């Protein structure tokens, strides 16, 4: 895409975001909504500026725990996804356990993590990891499981081993699935980290929001939400760009021609 196409594609979402905030601002002024119920965007913005040092300090922590947890999730998710997709035995053995594990609410695990690791960074990393790990496993495994038999026949008729089939077509074929899952998981990782911080931390956006709400500093709570949302969008966009670069073939003509 050239610069003009990029700016053209950015225009609609920008307009929508501006419209939403304008509507919000107008509604809160028109109906005189109290600040401790729903602060107007202008009030949130003011609070962002006032507390910028504290917000920066806490954002760093949240970004750090999220990225570490997410990075671990990518490694473990990719490895387990490939193992499950490669072998039906591993698939049958592990899948029920994985589904059961994923069904456990992650917020309920945090107190257990606190007992094991104490308050602070480690529970946040682990929660971010746990919540973002599952979609990666499932997607990578699906990419391998839906490998067309015809595609395999092409390689098998040449005498390719199972390992070669896996390398030459299994992995490239599952890459689009992998990146699709990264976009979902990246935002989930923030959710995990913030949940853990609201339960057991002394630093981080989640912790900051908890403290702010206990002081009825509602604009700062919303400022925290905005910061998390922005970080999530940036991480999402980062993986979307990498995805386009590496698996452009899966999108055919949409962006390449």
Partner 1 sequence: MSDPPFVVLDRVRVAYPHDGQEVVAVEEASLQVRRGEFVAVTGPSGCGKTTILKLLSGLLLPSRGPVSVGGAPVRGPQKNVGMAFQNPILLPWRRTLENVLLPLEIVEPHKRRFRAQRAAYASQAQELLASVGMEGFGDRFPWEISGGQQQRVNLCRALIHQPELLLLDEPFGALDAFTREELWQVLQDLWLRRRFTVILVTHDLREAVFLADTVYVMSPRPGRVVYRTVVGLQRPRTLEDTFTPQFTDIYHEIRRRIGVARAQ
| Interface positions with partner 1 (CB under 8 A) | 148, 150-151, 153-160, 164, 168-169, 172-173, 175, 247, 249-250, 252-253, 256-257
Tokens 């107007």 correspond to 40
Looking at the Cβ atoms of 18 and 154, the one nearer to partner 1 is 154
Shortest distance, position 152 Cβ to partner 1, whole Å: 10
| Packing angle, helices 121-145 and 171-199, rounded to 10 | 160
Task: Answer positive or negative: Cα dihedral of 163, 164, 166, 172.
Answer: positive
Looking at the Cβ atoms of 56 and 249, the one nearer to partner 1 is 249
For 56-76, give the secondary structure using H, E and C. HHHHHHHHHHHHHHHHHHHHH
Looking at the Cβ atoms of 214 and 257, the one nearer to partner 1 is 257
* CA pair distance 244, 183, nearest whole angstrom: 12
* CA pair distance 109, 126, nearest whole angstrom: 10
Burial (0-12, 13-18, 19+ Cβ within 10 Å), 220: buried
Looking at the Cβ atoms of 83 and 175, the one nearer to partner 1 is 175
Category of 87 on φ-ψ map: left (φ > 0), alpha (ψ -120 to 50) or beta: beta
Looking at the Cβ atoms of 142 and 247, the one nearer to partner 1 is 247
Shortest distance, position 150 Cβ to partner 1, whole Å: 5
Shortest distance, position 84 Cβ to partner 1, whole Å: 22
* CA pair distance 43, 50, nearest whole angstrom: 10
Query: In sequence order, what are the residues at sequence separation of 6 or more whose Cβ sits closer than 8 angstroms to the Cβ of residue 235?
Result: 66, 186, 187, 189, 190
Looking at the Cβ atoms of 98 and 246, the one nearer to partner 1 is 246
* CA pair distance 233, 183, nearest whole angstrom: 10
Shortest distance, position 22 Cβ to partner 1, whole Å: 43
């Amino acid at each position: 895409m050239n610069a003009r196409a990029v700016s053209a594609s950015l225009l609609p979402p920008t307009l929508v975001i501006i419209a939403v905030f304008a509507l919000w601002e107008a509604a809160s002024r028109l109906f005189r909504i109290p600040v401790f119920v729903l602060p107007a965007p202008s009030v949130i913005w003011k609070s962002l500026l006032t507390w910028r040092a504290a917000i920066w300090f806490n954002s760093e922590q949240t970004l750090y725990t999220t990225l570490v947890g997410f990075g671990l999730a990518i490694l473990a998710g990719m490895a387990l996804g490939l193992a499950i997709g490669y072998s039906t035995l591993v698939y049958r053995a592990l899948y029920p356990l994985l589904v059961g594990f994923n069904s456990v609410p992650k917020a309920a695990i945090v107190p257990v993590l606190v007992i094991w690791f104490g308050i602070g960074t480690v529970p946040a990393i682990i929660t971010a990891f746990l919540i973002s790990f599952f979609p990666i496993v499932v997607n990578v495994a699906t990419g391998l499981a839906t490998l067309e038999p015809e595609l395999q026949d092409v390689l098998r008729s040449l005498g390719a081993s199972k390992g070669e089939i896996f390398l030459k077509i299994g992995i490239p074929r599952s890459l689009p699935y992998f990146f699709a899952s990264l976009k979902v998981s990246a935002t989930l990782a923030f959710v995990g980290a913030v949940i853990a911080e609201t339960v057991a931390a002394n630093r981080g956006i989640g912790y900051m929001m908890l403290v702010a709400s206990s002081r009825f500093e509602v604009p700062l709570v919303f400022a925290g939400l905005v910061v998390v949302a922005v970080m999530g969008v940036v991480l999402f966009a980062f993986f979307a760009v990498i995805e386009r670069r590496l698996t452009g073939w899966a999108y055919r003509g949409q962006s390449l021609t």
